Amino acid sequence: MTTSTLVHVNEKELKTYASKERRALLGLTSPALLVILIVMVIPVGWLFYLSFIGSDGNFSLEHYQRMLDSKSYARIFLTTFKVSLLTTAICILIGYPLAYFLSQLPARVANICMLSVLLPFWTSLLVRTYSWLVLLQRKGIVNQVGMDFGFWDEPLKLVHNLSGTLVGMVHIMLPFLILPLYASMKSIPQDYIKASSNLGATPTQSFWQIFFPLSMPGLLAGSLIVFILSLGFFVTPAVLGGGKVIMVAMQITNNIELFFDWGAASALGVVLLVMTFVILFVASKLMRLDNVLGGGH
Protein backbone atom coordinates (compact mmCIF):
# COMPACT_ATOMS: atom_id res chain seq x y z
CA MET A 1 0.00 0.00 0.00
CA THR A 2 1.46 3.32 -1.08
CA THR A 3 1.84 6.40 1.10
CA SER A 4 -0.87 8.29 -0.81
CA THR A 5 -3.30 5.37 -0.26
CA LEU A 6 -2.56 5.35 3.46
CA VAL A 7 -3.14 9.10 3.67
CA HIS A 8 -6.45 8.73 1.80
CA VAL A 9 -7.58 5.93 4.14
CA ASN A 10 -6.61 7.93 7.23
CA GLU A 11 -8.53 10.97 5.94
CA LYS A 12 -11.65 8.84 5.41
CA GLU A 13 -11.34 7.40 8.91
CA LEU A 14 -10.93 10.87 10.39
CA LYS A 15 -13.99 12.16 8.52
CA THR A 16 -16.04 9.17 9.67
CA TYR A 17 -14.90 9.67 13.27
CA ALA A 18 -15.66 13.41 13.11
CA SER A 19 -19.13 12.68 11.70
CA LYS A 20 -19.87 10.20 14.50
CA GLU A 21 -18.60 12.68 17.08
CA ARG A 22 -20.88 15.42 15.72
CA ARG A 23 -23.88 13.07 15.83
CA ALA A 24 -23.03 12.08 19.40
CA LEU A 25 -22.70 15.72 20.47
CA LEU A 26 -25.99 16.54 18.77
CA GLY A 27 -27.66 13.68 20.62
CA LEU A 28 -26.27 14.89 23.96
CA THR A 29 -27.31 18.49 23.38
CA SER A 30 -30.74 17.69 21.92
CA PRO A 31 -32.60 17.95 25.28
CA ALA A 32 -31.05 21.36 26.00
CA LEU A 33 -31.79 22.56 22.45
CA LEU A 34 -35.38 21.38 22.81
CA VAL A 35 -35.77 23.32 26.06
CA ILE A 36 -34.33 26.46 24.43
CA LEU A 37 -36.69 26.01 21.49
CA ILE A 38 -39.76 25.66 23.73
CA VAL A 39 -38.83 28.29 26.33
CA MET A 40 -37.17 30.97 24.16
CA VAL A 41 -37.41 30.55 20.40
CA ILE A 42 -41.13 29.79 20.12
CA PRO A 43 -42.28 32.54 22.56
CA VAL A 44 -40.06 35.15 20.88
CA GLY A 45 -41.29 34.03 17.47
CA TRP A 46 -44.89 34.29 18.68
CA LEU A 47 -44.08 37.78 19.99
CA PHE A 48 -42.81 38.84 16.57
CA TYR A 49 -45.89 37.34 14.92
CA LEU A 50 -48.35 39.18 17.18
CA SER A 51 -46.57 42.49 16.63
CA PHE A 52 -47.44 42.32 12.92
CA ILE A 53 -51.13 41.51 13.44
CA GLY A 54 -53.37 44.56 13.23
CA SER A 55 -56.65 45.25 14.98
CA ASP A 56 -58.52 43.69 12.03
CA GLY A 57 -56.62 40.42 12.42
CA ASN A 58 -54.57 40.83 9.24
CA PHE A 59 -50.91 41.53 8.63
CA SER A 60 -50.20 45.18 9.43
CA LEU A 61 -47.50 47.58 10.58
CA GLU A 62 -49.96 49.76 12.48
CA HIS A 63 -48.39 49.07 15.90
CA TYR A 64 -44.95 50.16 14.72
CA GLN A 65 -46.45 53.11 12.84
CA ARG A 66 -48.21 54.21 16.04
CA MET A 67 -44.89 54.17 17.89
CA LEU A 68 -43.36 56.39 15.19
CA ASP A 69 -46.28 58.81 15.14
CA SER A 70 -46.95 59.10 18.89
CA LYS A 71 -44.64 61.30 20.96
CA SER A 72 -45.67 59.45 24.12
CA TYR A 73 -43.81 56.33 22.98
CA ALA A 74 -40.69 58.38 22.31
CA ARG A 75 -40.91 59.77 25.85
CA ILE A 76 -41.31 56.26 27.26
CA PHE A 77 -38.20 54.97 25.47
CA LEU A 78 -36.30 58.12 26.43
CA THR A 79 -37.28 57.62 30.08
CA THR A 80 -36.29 53.95 29.93
CA PHE A 81 -32.81 54.70 28.60
CA LYS A 82 -32.39 57.71 30.89
CA VAL A 83 -33.20 55.67 34.00
CA SER A 84 -31.00 52.79 32.85
CA LEU A 85 -28.03 55.08 32.12
CA LEU A 86 -28.38 56.96 35.42
CA THR A 87 -28.68 53.68 37.33
CA THR A 88 -25.54 52.36 35.63
CA ALA A 89 -23.60 55.59 36.28
CA ILE A 90 -24.54 55.69 39.98
CA CYS A 91 -23.70 52.00 40.36
CA ILE A 92 -20.24 52.69 38.87
CA LEU A 93 -19.65 55.63 41.23
CA ILE A 94 -20.59 53.54 44.27
CA GLY A 95 -19.51 50.10 43.12
CA TYR A 96 -16.01 50.76 41.83
CA PRO A 97 -14.59 52.16 45.11
CA LEU A 98 -16.37 49.40 47.06
CA ALA A 99 -15.04 46.66 44.78
CA TYR A 100 -11.55 48.16 44.97
CA PHE A 101 -11.72 48.26 48.77
CA LEU A 102 -12.84 44.62 48.90
CA SER A 103 -10.09 43.55 46.49
CA GLN A 104 -7.42 45.04 48.77
CA LEU A 105 -8.62 43.21 51.88
CA PRO A 106 -7.22 39.87 53.03
CA ALA A 107 -9.07 36.96 51.45
CA ARG A 108 -10.89 35.87 54.62
CA VAL A 109 -12.05 39.39 55.50
CA ALA A 110 -13.06 40.05 51.88
CA ASN A 111 -15.19 36.89 51.81
CA ILE A 112 -17.02 37.99 54.94
CA CYS A 113 -17.59 41.47 53.54
CA MET A 114 -18.87 40.01 50.28
CA LEU A 115 -21.78 38.57 52.23
CA SER A 116 -23.11 42.11 52.62
CA VAL A 117 -23.03 42.44 48.82
CA LEU A 118 -24.75 39.10 48.26
CA LEU A 119 -27.32 39.57 51.04
CA PRO A 120 -29.83 41.46 48.84
CA PHE A 121 -30.04 38.41 46.55
CA TRP A 122 -31.63 36.49 49.42
CA THR A 123 -34.47 38.99 49.76
CA SER A 124 -37.39 39.32 47.38
CA LEU A 125 -37.16 42.23 44.94
CA LEU A 126 -40.72 43.21 45.82
CA VAL A 127 -39.89 43.28 49.53
CA ARG A 128 -36.83 45.46 48.96
CA THR A 129 -38.83 47.86 46.80
CA TYR A 130 -41.60 48.29 49.36
CA SER A 131 -38.99 48.68 52.09
CA TRP A 132 -37.62 51.71 50.27
CA LEU A 133 -41.16 53.02 49.93
CA VAL A 134 -41.58 52.80 53.70
CA LEU A 135 -38.22 54.48 54.31
CA LEU A 136 -38.59 57.31 51.79
CA GLN A 137 -42.27 58.25 52.00
CA ARG A 138 -43.36 61.61 53.45
CA LYS A 139 -43.78 60.15 56.93
CA GLY A 140 -40.96 57.65 56.51
CA ILE A 141 -37.86 57.19 58.61
CA VAL A 142 -35.60 59.28 56.35
CA ASN A 143 -37.87 62.33 56.43
CA GLN A 144 -38.50 61.98 60.16
CA VAL A 145 -34.78 61.77 60.99
CA GLY A 146 -33.99 64.68 58.65
CA MET A 147 -36.59 66.92 60.28
CA ASP A 148 -35.65 65.84 63.81
CA PHE A 149 -32.01 66.85 63.21
CA GLY A 150 -33.02 70.05 61.43
CA PHE A 151 -31.67 69.15 58.01
CA TRP A 152 -34.97 70.26 56.46
CA ASP A 153 -38.19 71.77 57.77
CA GLU A 154 -40.84 69.83 55.84
CA PRO A 155 -40.97 66.34 54.31
CA LEU A 156 -39.06 65.96 51.07
CA LYS A 157 -40.52 64.25 47.99
CA LEU A 158 -38.25 61.23 47.95
CA VAL A 159 -40.64 58.76 46.31
CA HIS A 160 -43.11 58.75 43.42
CA ASN A 161 -40.50 60.47 41.28
CA LEU A 162 -37.24 59.78 39.43
CA SER A 163 -35.10 60.09 42.58
CA GLY A 164 -36.99 57.37 44.44
CA THR A 165 -36.87 55.11 41.39
CA LEU A 166 -33.11 55.51 41.09
CA VAL A 167 -32.56 54.78 44.79
CA GLY A 168 -34.45 51.50 44.55
CA MET A 169 -32.90 50.43 41.25
CA VAL A 170 -29.32 51.21 42.34
CA HIS A 171 -29.82 49.17 45.51
CA ILE A 172 -31.03 46.21 43.47
CA MET A 173 -28.50 46.46 40.62
CA LEU A 174 -25.34 47.28 42.59
CA PRO A 175 -24.34 43.63 43.24
CA PHE A 176 -24.48 42.91 39.49
CA LEU A 177 -21.71 45.48 39.00
CA ILE A 178 -19.61 44.64 42.04
CA LEU A 179 -19.35 40.87 41.45
CA PRO A 180 -17.72 40.89 37.96
CA LEU A 181 -15.69 43.97 38.87
CA TYR A 182 -14.37 42.35 42.05
CA ALA A 183 -13.46 39.18 40.14
CA SER A 184 -11.60 41.26 37.56
CA MET A 185 -9.71 43.20 40.24
CA LYS A 186 -8.70 40.06 42.13
CA SER A 187 -7.19 38.63 38.94
CA ILE A 188 -4.80 41.58 38.57
CA PRO A 189 -1.30 40.46 39.67
CA GLN A 190 -0.02 42.57 42.55
CA ASP A 191 3.46 42.21 41.08
CA TYR A 192 2.49 44.80 38.45
CA ILE A 193 1.75 47.38 41.14
CA LYS A 194 4.98 46.54 42.99
CA ALA A 195 6.96 46.80 39.77
CA SER A 196 5.52 50.23 39.01
CA SER A 197 6.41 51.38 42.53
CA ASN A 198 9.97 50.11 42.10
CA LEU A 199 10.19 52.11 38.87
CA GLY A 200 9.29 55.30 40.73
CA ALA A 201 5.53 55.54 40.17
CA THR A 202 3.40 57.03 42.94
CA PRO A 203 0.38 55.04 44.24
CA THR A 204 -1.92 57.33 42.26
CA GLN A 205 0.05 56.78 39.05
CA SER A 206 0.12 53.03 39.66
CA PHE A 207 -3.64 53.00 40.07
CA TRP A 208 -4.55 55.04 36.99
CA GLN A 209 -1.88 53.67 34.65
CA ILE A 210 -1.81 50.00 35.76
CA PHE A 211 -4.72 48.95 37.97
CA PHE A 212 -7.59 50.89 36.39
CA PRO A 213 -6.92 49.83 32.75
CA LEU A 214 -6.60 46.18 33.84
CA SER A 215 -9.92 46.39 35.70
CA MET A 216 -11.77 47.77 32.66
CA PRO A 217 -13.03 44.36 31.38
CA GLY A 218 -14.82 43.76 34.68
CA LEU A 219 -16.14 47.32 34.76
CA LEU A 220 -17.46 47.10 31.20
CA ALA A 221 -19.04 43.70 31.80
CA GLY A 222 -20.70 44.80 35.04
CA SER A 223 -21.93 48.07 33.51
CA LEU A 224 -23.41 46.24 30.54
CA ILE A 225 -25.21 43.78 32.83
CA VAL A 226 -26.66 46.60 34.93
CA PHE A 227 -27.75 48.61 31.89
CA ILE A 228 -29.40 45.70 30.06
CA LEU A 229 -31.23 44.47 33.17
CA SER A 230 -32.40 48.02 33.96
CA LEU A 231 -34.04 48.34 30.53
CA GLY A 232 -36.64 45.74 31.46
CA PHE A 233 -37.40 46.86 35.03
CA PHE A 234 -41.04 46.94 36.05
CA VAL A 235 -41.69 46.54 39.80
CA THR A 236 -39.32 49.20 41.13
CA PRO A 237 -40.34 52.10 38.82
CA ALA A 238 -44.00 51.11 39.19
CA VAL A 239 -43.88 51.26 43.01
CA LEU A 240 -41.30 54.00 43.67
CA GLY A 241 -42.10 56.02 40.56
CA GLY A 242 -45.76 56.32 41.51
CA GLY A 243 -46.90 56.35 37.88
CA LYS A 244 -44.69 59.34 37.05
CA VAL A 245 -41.75 57.30 35.75
CA ILE A 246 -43.14 55.23 32.86
CA MET A 247 -40.75 52.67 31.40
CA VAL A 248 -41.29 50.29 28.49
CA ALA A 249 -42.17 47.29 30.69
CA MET A 250 -44.88 49.34 32.41
CA GLN A 251 -46.35 50.45 29.07
CA ILE A 252 -46.41 46.83 27.90
CA THR A 253 -48.40 45.94 31.01
CA ASN A 254 -50.79 48.85 30.42
CA ASN A 255 -51.40 47.77 26.81
CA ILE A 256 -52.37 44.30 27.99
CA GLU A 257 -54.26 45.02 31.21
CA LEU A 258 -56.05 48.25 30.23
CA PHE A 259 -56.51 47.92 26.47
CA PHE A 260 -56.04 44.15 25.98
CA ASP A 261 -53.93 45.00 22.94
CA TRP A 262 -51.46 42.15 22.59
CA GLY A 263 -50.23 43.47 19.24
CA ALA A 264 -49.15 46.84 20.64
CA ALA A 265 -47.56 45.19 23.66
CA SER A 266 -45.71 42.70 21.43
CA ALA A 267 -44.44 45.50 19.19
CA LEU A 268 -43.02 47.31 22.20
CA GLY A 269 -41.34 44.12 23.35
CA VAL A 270 -39.88 43.50 19.90
CA VAL A 271 -38.46 47.04 19.65
CA LEU A 272 -36.91 46.77 23.11
CA LEU A 273 -35.48 43.33 22.27
CA VAL A 274 -33.96 44.60 19.02
CA MET A 275 -32.48 47.62 20.81
CA THR A 276 -30.98 45.31 23.43
CA PHE A 277 -29.36 43.13 20.77
CA VAL A 278 -27.97 46.22 19.02
CA ILE A 279 -26.48 47.43 22.32
CA LEU A 280 -24.94 44.00 22.96
CA PHE A 281 -23.53 43.91 19.42
CA VAL A 282 -21.99 47.38 19.72
CA ALA A 283 -20.62 46.55 23.19
CA SER A 284 -19.02 43.34 21.91
CA LYS A 285 -17.36 45.28 19.08
CA LEU A 286 -16.07 47.93 21.49
CA MET A 287 -14.72 45.30 23.89
CA ARG A 288 -13.01 43.49 21.04
CA LEU A 289 -11.51 46.75 19.81
CA ASP A 290 -10.34 47.55 23.31
CA ASN A 291 -8.64 44.14 23.57
CA VAL A 292 -6.92 44.67 20.22
CA LEU A 293 -5.68 48.12 21.19
CA GLY A 294 -4.60 46.86 24.59
CA GLY A 295 -2.72 43.98 23.01
CA GLY A 296 -1.06 46.29 20.53
CA HIS A 297 -0.05 48.69 23.31
Q: How is the chain split into domains, by residue range? A: 1-51, 71-296
**pLDDT attached to residue 86:** 96
Rounded Cα distance between 7 and 12, Å, is: 9
DSSP state of 152: -
Could you give phi then psi for residue 59, rounded to 5 degrees? -60, 130
**pLDDT attached to residue 11:** 67
Structure confidence by residue, pLDDT tens digits, 227-260: 999 998 998 999 999 888 999 999 998 888 887 8
pTM of this structure: 0.84
Other Cβ atoms less than 10 A from the Cβ of 178: the count is 22
Residues 6+ apart with CB under 8 A from 267: 51, 63, 64, 67
Q: Is the pLDDT of residue 6 over 60?
A: no
Compute, in degrees rounded to 10, the torsion defined by CA atoms 120, 123, 124, 125: -20
Q: In residues, how long is the chain?
A: 297
- Let me know if domain 71-296 sits in CATH 1.10.3720.10: yes
Compute, in degrees rounded to 10, the torsion defined by CA atoms 87, 88, 93, 99: 120
Q: Is the pLDDT of residue 97 over 60?
A: yes
Which amino acid belongs to residue 104? Q
Q: How large is the average pLDDT for residues 288-294?
A: 54
**pLDDT attached to residue 285:** 79
Greater confidence (8 vs 198) lies with 198
User: Shortest CA distance to 279 belongs to which of 239, 237, 201, 225?
Assistant: 225
Q: Is the pLDDT of residue 85 over 90?
A: yes
Q: Is the pLDDT of residue 57 over 90?
A: no
**pLDDT attached to residue 296:** 41
Reported as half-sphere exposure (CB side, CA atoms, 13 A), residue 11 has a value of 6
Q: Is the pLDDT of residue 261 over 70?
A: yes
